[in-house]
Structure 1
Amino acid sequence: MYIESKLEEIDEALFSVDPSEVRDPNILQEKIAGPTYSWLKAKTKIQFTKGLFIVDTYFENDRDLTDIFSISGEYIQISYLGKGDSHLMCAKESKPVGIGCVNCCYNRNTITTIKMPANSPTHYQALFLSKEYYLQLLKDEAWVANNSFYKNIMEGEFLEWGTCKYPIDYNLYHIFNEVTRGDWKRDFKKYYLDLRLKEIFLSLHLCQEELERATFKGINDENLEKIKTAHAYLIEHFKNPPTIKELARIVLLNELQLKRDFKKMYGKTIRSFIIELRMEKAKSLLGKHTVSEMAEILGYRSVPHFINTFKKCYGYTPKQGLNQ
């Protein structure tokens, strides 16, 4: 499995790695400053070991930018676009990558052209596993017996990019960030990373089951896609969330349908979902910031309102939480 990212406009490789040749059993890590141009800033972090490659990249470009992404050998890809308006280019069409969805594929020997328009900052995260690494990782997991993606890989049936995609949820979003950030101690890094990778694949399996159940909730396919987009959008923007009216415009669905189908799909209102996301984040901020700083980070204009919401959720105030 050989992986290269080459920026067409400047004819430079951002990175070029062959994880199959790595002999070090530990996870290797590099921060790549990227090429220096007045119109382009690129910041990339890569981690790799034999059969595994992880990339986390930010682009800020004042001109259109093209990334030629080449992968040789069989591979499993799990990728997430958190920010940007990227499109995949092929002979017949231009496909939007789609913010807020995790895309999965199983393929081999591919060259993908990704267009990133000017003045639209891009942030993407991606995991690439060799077939051997993937099968070894999940060989003892009981749930894979009922997982269609795993079955395709076992049987060698390729799945192109975009065939399997799932809306990001807060748990998956959090794990993805942990994996791509890679801040754990070197001695335990490989062990801990494999545990988190298993968690990602299990979360995707549960997402698949949830989507299958959605067909029994009376939500048609077109609306389901819009509800999933709304859900993913809120996860990225919960600190400064849109109004229901603004969200309805973003996903092209009327407000009543949006509220009704969102609750059908996720068992909670949009408002309660935003509060849940904020409180999950608030708990992770305890001890790192003052209460007023936490309120500001989470988009609360009133500190007392934030404290009351936190207490309703957890049964204690943020200050009391520091002593628990």
Structure 2
Amino acid sequence: MHIFSRIVEVDQVLCDLDVPDTYMDDAEVKDYSRHFTDRETASYEIKALYVPGLFIQKTEVQTIKEITDDFLTSGKHIRFFFYLKGHSSVKRGAGNQDYEHAEGMLLRNYLDKSGGGSLVHIPGNDEMKYVVIKMSREFYIQLLKDEQWINNDAFHQYILAGDPENRPNETLYVDMRTLQILQEILHCDHIQQYRYHFLKLKLRELLFIVHQLTHFGPANHSEPIASDVGILEKIRAYLILHLDKPPSVTELSKMFMLNEKKLKQDFKSVYGNTIYAFVIDARMRKAKKLLFEDHNVNELAMLLGYQSVSHFIKVFKTYHGCTPKEALSRFKTLTSATQKERG
């Protein structure tokens, strides 16, 4: 794979990298980073890691004026695109289509040079964040060759069949588990040994979750409500990405142009929870994860959008049956006991 990206307005190359297509049982994970700031156009930061057959990139953009990202990846590759924040549009992208990016969108495709490039237009005064994972065909096939769950997947069979056909992107929406795995992949630099093997494990887990979303929808998903499910999936993903400042039902209904009463009824019917209860559940699950990553209570309250620390502690105790301090103490005790047993 040859991976190229350039900001057109200032002729600034962000990435120009050759990644061999071959799969290796063991390999050294290499890091790539690029930071560019122009006071009149934008600030662009790329952090990536790669091995033969695999390229994973996180990009954060803060624009002043509208900019255009001219990107191209050549060679047969499978692309997973996770759009986490902002607004942008693509001209003549995969399938020769023009399309808009939406927050929470998960796009996947099997591409080569004919479909692996386009122009991405990012509006001025905007902030954009996304993660893209690209695998060579050989890497993808070897990664999943022993996984039985993927055998009947239509997308997988399309890849096995041969050359890409430059089809339009398949569109899904992220959930909490998807985001958690992405974070674990992107922040694995603390692993001193077997980092590559960790990445392969996490990629299989991520692809399994995507497979589940494709065939069965998100967890607790009941029978679909006709065409409204697509909108509900967008709303669900949007809420997950904005747990620090979740919009009200009234705001959501305006944003997604739905009747407020119908939105509340359909959301509960599909996901088994009210929108309010869904936000609380997502916040508390994220709170426990962040707590075990050494964030203090004040940080947790701020990251999850609670203006009162005492209110956050009360909600946490109601949900988990103990305070954050008690939960952390139990976790440390359990971890210490496990380490003693191993020692």
| Structure 2 Cα separation of the partners of residues 62 and 251 of structure 1 | 27
Amino acid at match of 1:108: D
> Contact (CA 8 Å) 2:222, 2:269: kept in 1 or not?
no
TM-score of the pair, normalised by structure 1: 0.92
> Contact (CA 8 Å) 2:54, 2:139: kept in 1 or not?
yes
Query: How far does residue 259 in structure 1 lie from its aligned partner after superposition?
Result: 1.3
| Structure 2 Cα separation of the partners of residues 163 and 262 of structure 1 | 26
Amino acid at match of 1:13: V
Which residue of structure 2 lines up, in the alignment, with residue 4 of structure 1? 4
User: What SS does the aligned partner of 2:193 have?
Assistant: helix
Query: Where does the alignment leave 5 or more consecutive residues of structure 1 unmatched?
Result: none
Matches within 5 A, 1:107-256: 107-109=111-113, 110-156=116-162, 158=164, 160=166, 162-211=168-217, 217-221=223-227, 223-256=228-261
> Contact (CA 8 Å) 1:5, 1:69: kept in 2 or not?
yes
Deviations 1:251-284 (A, max 9, x none): 1111122112212222222111101111112112
Query: How far does residue 78 in structure 1 lie from its aligned partner after superposition?
Result: 0.3
| Structure 2 Cα separation of the partners of residues 73 and 157 of structure 1 | 10
Query: How far does residue 161 in structure 1 lie from its aligned partner after superposition?
Result: 6.5
- CA change 1:282–1:104 in 2 (3 A) is same
| Structure 1 Cα separation of the partners of residues 262 and 172 of structure 2 | 21
Question: Does 1:95 pair with 2:99?
Answer: yes
Amino acid at match of 2:19: P
CA RMSD of aligned residues (A): 2.4
Deviations 1:2-61 (A, max 9, x none): 110111111121011111179992110022112544432111101111011111111112
Runs of 4+ that moved beyond 6 A? 21-24, 212-216
TM-score of the pair, normalised by structure 2: 0.87
Amino acid at match of 2:15: F
- CA change 1:262–1:140 in 2 (3 A) is same
Query: How far does residue 314 in structure 1 lie from its aligned partner after superposition?
Result: 1.5
- CA change 1:228–1:191 in 2 (3 A) is same
> Contact (CA 8 Å) 1:103, 1:162: kept in 2 or not?
no
Query: How far does residue 81 in structure 1 lie from its aligned partner after superposition?
Result: 1.3
Query: How far does residue 101 in structure 1 lie from its aligned partner after superposition?
Result: 1.2
| Structure 1 Cα separation of the partners of residues 75 and 137 of structure 2 | 9
Which residue of structure 1 lines up, in the alignment, with residue 30 of structure 2? 28
Deviates more, 1:123-132 or 1:160-169: 160-169
Q: Pick the aligned partner of 2:316 from 295, 310, 313.
A: 310
| Structure 2 Cα separation of the partners of residues 123 and 142 of structure 1 | 34
- CA change 1:213–1:206 in 2 (3 A) is same
What number of residue pairs does the alignment pair up? 323
Deviations 1:102-134 (A, max 9, x none): 100001113211111111111111000000000
